[in-house]
Structure 1
Amino acid sequence: MSLVTGTNQFHENELLAYWNIIQRRKWVVLTVLVATVTIAAISGFKAPYVYRATAQLLIEKESNVSSYREGVAVDISGMDYYQTQYKIIKSRSIAKRVIEELGPALNAGNRTANGDSVNSFLGSIIIEPIRGSRLVNISAESFSPELAVRMANTLSDVYVKQNLENRLFASREILKKLPADISLASLSNKDVMESLPSVVSNSLIQDLKAELIKYESEYANLSQRYKEKHPSMQTLQAKINLLKERIGTEMRNTVESIKTELSGEYKSNNVRIVDYAEVPKNPVRPQRKRNIIIAFVLGLSLGAGLAFLVEYLDNTFKSGSDIEQYLDVPFLGIVPIVKEKGENNMFVLDGVKSPQGEAVKTIRTNLIFSAAEGKLKTILVTSCVPGEGKTFSSMNIAASFSQAGKKTLLVDTDLRRSSLTKCMKMDIGNGLSNYLIGEADCDNITRETEVKNLYFISSGLHSPDPAELLGSQRMKEFVAQVSAKFDRVIFDSAPVLPVSDTLNIANLMDGVVMVVYSGKLSRAMVNMGKQKLQGVKAKVVGALLNYVNVKARGYHGYSYYSYSYNEYY
């Protein structure tokens, strides 16, 4: 039971991760979706309606072939015959005849500017054999429904006539094969009839003649013994007369068939029109509603695919699992997006519980358990580049410790671009730089804040060489002094990559906390900052992920924050 439950939970988490990606990349999905539907709608409404008219033909196989068609008959027993007929229907010769009959109306109705009217016409013809039958649909497409009907019907008529002409052509070929001394009128002569190849090759006539010879031979033998009126003689004579009559009838039938073909009166056709085309009521394309629906589904699929591709190519940090996997340091927690900070930058001190405040308390707890008691008094908070929220995080971490009853000191060690003093709403006055150059002692620069148990030291006046001051012996003495006087000391420092100031003091701290802005810097750049800290033997105790959009549930792996605060508070 536990195995099944675990499997179901895995699939649920996997689906949730996919949904998180879609939500995080929703603008990619929406952009592709809107673009696809818009293109489909514009192209659909700009394209003119096309109508299709369909006529139906029956093409039969020829079963009887005149014996005179030797050398001109074609084997039509297989499917090759039908494929040949379909090609003939779409041949250029038939197309030209149809175009001649339709006249200028063809180009006007199809609005074609192409000079090759034959190819244009053939491009609008569709041949569709009906499977399992000898029927074939001949369809014609046009911008005009009336012209589509004329095209389909005219093509059908022309093909039927062409097929009949081809059969008459075979009759003319037969006439050429007759001996020069035999004319059409002389075919009724008995001697001529018996010399015709169709008669000579007729198996029935030849069998009858063989039987006639047999009876005549018997009659000659009996005539030597009996007279003509003898019953045996009369019986044989009756048989002989009957055979002669049958032979004569078969010969006349064969000759009549030949005379009909040779006279051009052979009108039998194995192709006929079953149904003429009718005026279509609805166009076949564009099917605007269907196209928009297809475009919507396609756009949604492409958008989702592009969203997954962008997510795959995105090598920034977006979750705690990314921190642990790619930065290889403990993950301390997240700081959700704060859309409106208001007048108080220390939201952890807000009277009303908030997701942001609870998140900072979680970070505080993880920091406490990251080292033994009393082993993590001085904490340096830094980031790789400006704008990642290290100052904001330093203030709230310090306030969180003070709220827990710890005597906490917040020190602004960014001597180049101090922003912490402004966020604390204090004047710069004497600060760390004044201490480092010997103008003030530690007690003179330490100030109380409005927050209980929280003290503050500003950066002081800007120094022309901050790196030298922070790397001096006075800085080491300062760290030792404040560490002895306070339970926790939080140092807000300069970014690691642009300047070396932070590297001069990082190894003096009990621990360093890296602030990583969610979805901003590449993994390679953040790892470069971590390597610089480790290069000076700094103790990186963990990293926190700042500016996380938990409401969009794009923070997979720690989805608790996306709903639990609303539920409990």
Structure 2
Amino acid sequence: MAANMNGQPESPWRDSGTSVDVVAYLKVLRKRKWMILIPLLVVLPLSALVLLIQHPSYEATAILLIEPANPRVVKIEEVHTPDHSREYYKSQYALLKSEGLLGRVVDTLSNGAPVTPAPSDTDSLAELIDRLKTRAKEAVQRLRETLGDPSPVVAFDPQEVVRRERIGKLQRSIRVEPVGMRLVHVTIVNPDPRRATTQVNTLAETYVAQNLEAKLSASEQASIWLEDKVQELRAELQQSEAALQAFIAEHKLVPAGLNDKPLVAVEEFKNLTAAYATYKADQVALQAQRRELAQLRKQPFDKLLASVASQMNSPLVDALRQRYAELQVEHGVLLENFKPRHPKVLAVESRMQTVQERITGEIDKYADQLKSENALIAQKVRMFGGRINNKKGEIIASNEDLEAYSSLKRDIDAKRRLYENLLNRMNETEVTKSLETNNVRLYQRAAVPVQPVPQRTLLKFLISAMVVLSFGVGMAFAAEMIDNRFKNLDDVEHYLRIPFLGLIPSYSNKHLSGLVTIEEPRSAVADSYRILRTNLQMMATQRQIASLMITSAVAGEGKTTTSANLGVSFAQLGWKVLIIDADLRRPALYKQFSVTNEAGLSDVLSHQADVDNLIQNTGVHNLRILTSGPIPPNPAELLNAHRLRQLCEHLQAQFDLIIFDCAITLSIPDTLLMASGIGGLCLVHNPDRGEKGGVETAKKMLERANANILGIMFNNVRLKTSTYGDYHYYSSEYTVSQYKKIQS
């Protein structure tokens, strides 16, 4: 499966979005075939064994009828009444498989004898596994006791252990199937048809009996509770009645007229309040008239006369006012004809004075009348106010007595009603608890089955095979998804953005020393090195590269073997090649060619020896070697780009290509220090040893060190399980279909 630009596995869908890359799927299945085959090889024989040793099973079915209500014998509501909701029926279905009910069934079938395993209990593999689990638990308990474990260990009676096993087996063999809401099919599966029939009929009968027992038990418990509550309420009622009688005697009340007494007092209080309000209003009105009259008397007589006439409403004052008006008119006429001191004018003024004095006298009498009336009304207001206060105290005292009396009376009435209701319910319960009515009944007993249940062995085996196969395939694809290694060649170039130079197949010939290009020059592995040589040769020619670094991200990826075989391949081409072991920490190149490592590159870089004197022959024509020499204490200080550049310039006059076998990149800085001084770099990667994340990190580190990365090659690739191309080789014949793009 290819990877996208971010390094995540690509979908098996092609770019068109309409077809599936079946080949990619098949390659994944081929690569992970053991994850599929091992579960199949383990599970399928076990499934076949289990299916073959199974005995025929028989089903016995009894039918139960669950009514929504008990049969109505009397018109009295019973204590235990069924529910009409779906939850009620669901709970009944669950009760049919409950351990309590099944325990009673097991006890009934054993008839009080010691519970022992039935002969058929050992016929089922599931029961055998359960028995083994029980034995294992017992062994663990005994071991804990032997080791002195302080934690408490529950010791079970062997008879109880067997009983629980039978309950568990019976529970697994039950199937409850509702038909509508009321009918329930109860089925038990057992290898013995008669035993299955006995078990299911016993289960149905026990369930019906248990439901009736629950109803009778509820009625009995309710009757006992009601009897206790009736006695308790009778005692409380007697105490309350005695308290009421004591209250009446203490306050000298007459219960017959006690309720009317507050009503009469309230009515009298209302009348007194109304009279008081009337007199109070009259008093306020008189006081207002007196204030108004006092203000009017301060005004001139003409204005006083005009205002007081309407207020007094007196015929005499009205007549005097009219007479005074006539005299005023006559006085005016005389003034027009006579002088003010004329006798006629004076006579009219005398008569006007007399009328004015009479009017003033009437006003004084009216003021005295108002004063007398105000005093009388004030006396009545005070009188009614006192009577109201007295009546209010009388009402308050009466209300307190009435409230206390009413409270005691209400308490007695409430207890009497509750007492009567409980007494009636107790009598009804006494009647109904003896009625053995039941809303559940055995509608149809189970008959002994004649034909066994179809085993469907082949179907079960195929289903188990499909499940195991699906599990294996799922695990294979899951492993492929989480596998962070390179999947194919496109994945390499998309992820790293560098050319793919080639791959070297794995080979396991123990007699080979590693130089396969010398020992088996006609093998497919040697040809793979030659293909790698060809690609590097084209790049070296195009970019004028005379020195080449070989490195890897982590150890064990085969960089030294690649350096040696690549040097041999270039030498076989006629190039003069020098291989330099630049791994000054773990040198190994000298072992490939069986040469000494007493002096080498470390001596040259430390200026202790001349390089021309340290170059050794390898036994291969045109191929020479400069070993690493003694391991220095400071390799990072010796290996720097400037020194290596000078060394390469000196050696290029003698050799066509200089190959440096360098240290690994991720954990050692040596390669990064010398990277910019070498013409080109080739990364070696073993897909089984490193992940692509490590390769990408090494590539970025080398790029930051200004290395000229030519590309990457894969080493020790297992072609039979890989997805890197189609390699088929026999002796020296092979095909490399994935190299078409590289060679082009």
Question: Which bin holds the TM-score, normalised by the shorter protein?
Answer: 0.5 to 0.7
Provide the C-alpha distance between the structure 2 equivalents of 1:94 and 1:315, rounded to a whole number of angstroms.
55
Per-residue CA deviations over 1:382-439 (Å, capped at 9, x if unaligned) read 1122211000011111111122222222111122221000111112244222322334
Letter in 2 for 1:278: P
Per-residue CA deviations over 1:50-97 (Å, capped at 9, x if unaligned) read 9433247699x9xxxxxx99999xxxxxx99x9999899889999968
Shift of 1:13: 8.6
Instruction: Using the TM superposition, name which of 371-380 and 357-366 deviates more.
Output: 371-380
Provide the C-alpha distance between the structure 2 equivalents of 1:49 and 1:395, rounded to a whole number of angstroms.
68
Per-residue CA deviations over 1:339-377 (Å, capped at 9, x if unaligned) read 126345222245553221222122122223335536122
Provide the C-alpha distance between the structure 2 equivalents of 1:318 and 1:69, rounded to a whole number of angstroms.
84
Provide the C-alpha distance between the structure 2 equivalents of 1:513 and 1:479, rounded to a whole number of angstroms.
17
Name which of 482, 502, 505 aligns with 1:336.
Answer: 505
Name which of 426, 429, 449 aligns with 1:278.
Answer: 449
Distance 1:32-1:97 versus aligned 2 partners, 3 A rule: closer
Provide the C-alpha distance between the structure 2 equivalents of 1:461 and 1:290, rounded to a whole number of angstroms.
72
Shift of 1:525: 2.3
Name which of 26, 39, 60 aligns with 1:19.
Answer: 26
Provide the C-alpha distance between the structure 2 equivalents of 1:84 and 1:413, rounded to a whole number of angstroms.
81
Find the counterpart in structure 1 of residue 59 from structure 2.
53
- The residue matched to 1:491 in structure 2 has which SS? strand
Name which of 538, 541, 555 aligns with 1:386.
Answer: 555
Provide the C-alpha distance between the structure 1 equivalents of 2:112 and 2:475, rounded to a whole number of angstroms.
50
Name which of 475, 478, 500 aligns with 1:309.
Answer: 478
Provide the C-alpha distance between the structure 2 equivalents of 1:300 and 1:310, rounded to a whole number of angstroms.
15
Aligned residues of 2:204 and 2:442 also touching (Cα < 8 A): no
Distance 1:504-1:103 versus aligned 2 partners, 3 A rule: same
Normalised to the residue count of structure 1, the TM-score between the two structures is 0.63
Letter in 2 for 1:53: E
* 1:454 has 2:454 as partner: no
Provide the C-alpha distance between the structure 1 equivalents of 2:551 and 2:658, rounded to a whole number of angstroms.
14
Find the counterpart in structure 1 of residue 657 from structure 2.
488
Letter in 2 for 1:434: D
Provide the C-alpha distance between the structure 2 equivalents of 1:551 and 1:122, rounded to a whole number of angstroms.
52
Shift of 1:464: 2.7
Aligned residues of 2:502 and 2:532 also touching (Cα < 8 A): yes
* 1:559 has 2:565 as partner: no
Find the counterpart in structure 2 of residue 499 from structure 1.
668
Provide the C-alpha distance between the structure 2 equivalents of 1:150 and 1:476, rounded to a whole number of angstroms.
98
Aligned residues of 2:504 and 2:714 also touching (Cα < 8 A): yes
Aligned residues of 1:383 and 1:496 also touching (Cα < 8 A): yes
Find the counterpart in structure 1 of residue 569 from structure 2.
400
- Which runs of 5 or more structure 1 residues have no equivalent in the other structure? 1-5, 62-67, 73-78, 164-269
Letter in 2 for 1:54: A
Query: Identity over aligned residues, as a percent?
Result: 30
Aligned residues of 2:641 and 2:676 also touching (Cα < 8 A): no
Find the counterpart in structure 1 of residue 438 from structure 2.
none
Aligned residues of 2:57 and 2:192 also touching (Cα < 8 A): yes
Instruction: Using the TM superposition, name which of 113-122 and 291-300 deviates more.
Output: 113-122
Instruction: Using the TM superposition, name which of 115-124 and 451-460 deviates more.
Output: 115-124
Aligned residues of 1:315 and 1:523 also touching (Cα < 8 A): yes
Aligned residues of 1:53 and 1:141 also touching (Cα < 8 A): yes
Provide the C-alpha distance between the structure 2 equivalents of 1:475 and 1:31, rounded to a whole number of angstroms.
54
Distance 1:412-1:9 versus aligned 2 partners, 3 A rule: farther
Shift of 1:548: 0.9
Provide the C-alpha distance between the structure 2 equivalents of 1:339 and 1:297, rounded to a whole number of angstroms.
37
Please give the residue correspondences for 1:24-423 in structure 2 after superposition, counting only pairs within 5 Å.
24-33=31-40, 36=43, 44=50, 51-55=57-61, 100=108, 103-104=111-112, 108=116, 113=161, 124-128=173-177, 138-142=186-190, 144-153=192-201, 276-278=447-449, 294-340=463-509, 342-350=511-519, 353-370=522-539, 372-373=541-542, 375-423=544-592
- The residue matched to 1:427 in structure 2 has which SS? coil
- Number of residue pairs matched by the alignment: 453
Per-residue CA deviations over 1:548-569 (Å, capped at 9, x if unaligned) read 11022x2x2x322256975569
Aligned residues of 1:53 and 1:140 also touching (Cα < 8 A): yes
Per-residue CA deviations over 1:112-156 (Å, capped at 9, x if unaligned) read 84878998667644344789xx99864223465432132235567
Per-residue CA deviations over 1:453-504 (Å, capped at 9, x if unaligned) read 2222222233232222222754332111222322221111111223222222
- Which runs of 5 or more structure 2 residues have no equivalent in the other structure? 1-12, 68-72, 78-85, 122-159, 212-440, 737-744
Distance 1:99-1:464 versus aligned 2 partners, 3 A rule: closer
Aligned residues of 1:57 and 1:137 also touching (Cα < 8 A): yes
Distance 1:143-1:283 versus aligned 2 partners, 3 A rule: farther
Shift of 1:541: 0.9
Aligned residues of 1:152 and 1:277 also touching (Cα < 8 A): no
Letter in 1 for 2:23: L
Provide the C-alpha distance between the structure 2 equivalents of 1:159 and 1:464, rounded to a whole number of angstroms.
89
Shift of 1:18: 2.2
Instruction: Using the TM superposition, name which of 427-436 and 359-368 deviates more.
Output: 427-436
Counting helix residues as a fraction of each chain, which structure ranks higher?
2
- The residue matched to 2:685 in structure 1 has which SS? strand
Distance 1:97-1:359 versus aligned 2 partners, 3 A rule: closer
- The residue matched to 1:126 in structure 2 has which SS? strand
Distance 1:125-1:382 versus aligned 2 partners, 3 A rule: closer
Find the counterpart in structure 2 of residue 536 from structure 1.
705
Provide the C-alpha distance between the structure 2 equivalents of 1:136 and 1:472, rounded to a whole number of angstroms.
90
Distance 1:135-1:445 versus aligned 2 partners, 3 A rule: same
Find the counterpart in structure 2 of residue 511 from structure 1.
680
Shift of 1:538: 0.9
- The residue matched to 1:357 in structure 2 has which SS? helix
Letter in 2 for 1:306: M
Provide the C-alpha distance between the structure 2 equivalents of 1:13 and 1:350, rounded to a whole number of angstroms.
44
Which one has a bigger Cα radius of gyration? Answer: 2
Find the counterpart in structure 2 of residue 258 from structure 1.
none
* 1:522 has 2:691 as partner: yes
Provide the C-alpha distance between the structure 2 equivalents of 1:511 and 1:139, rounded to a whole number of angstroms.
81
Provide the C-alpha distance between the structure 1 equivalents of 2:553 and 2:196, rounded to a whole number of angstroms.
71
- The residue matched to 1:278 in structure 2 has which SS? coil
Find the counterpart in structure 1 of residue 632 from structure 2.
463
Aligned residues of 2:64 and 2:443 also touching (Cα < 8 A): yes
Distance 1:106-1:482 versus aligned 2 partners, 3 A rule: same
Distance 1:150-1:16 versus aligned 2 partners, 3 A rule: same
Normalised to the residue count of structure 2, the TM-score between the two structures is 0.50
Aligned residues of 2:62 and 2:200 also touching (Cα < 8 A): no
Letter in 1 for 2:59: A
- The residue matched to 1:496 in structure 2 has which SS? coil
- The residue matched to 2:58 in structure 1 has which SS? strand
Provide the C-alpha distance between the structure 2 equivalents of 1:117 and 1:344, rounded to a whole number of angstroms.
66
- The residue matched to 1:561 in structure 2 has which SS? coil
CA RMSD of aligned residues (A): 5.1
Provide the C-alpha distance between the structure 2 equivalents of 1:83 and 1:550, rounded to a whole number of angstroms.
61
- The residue matched to 2:529 in structure 1 has which SS? helix
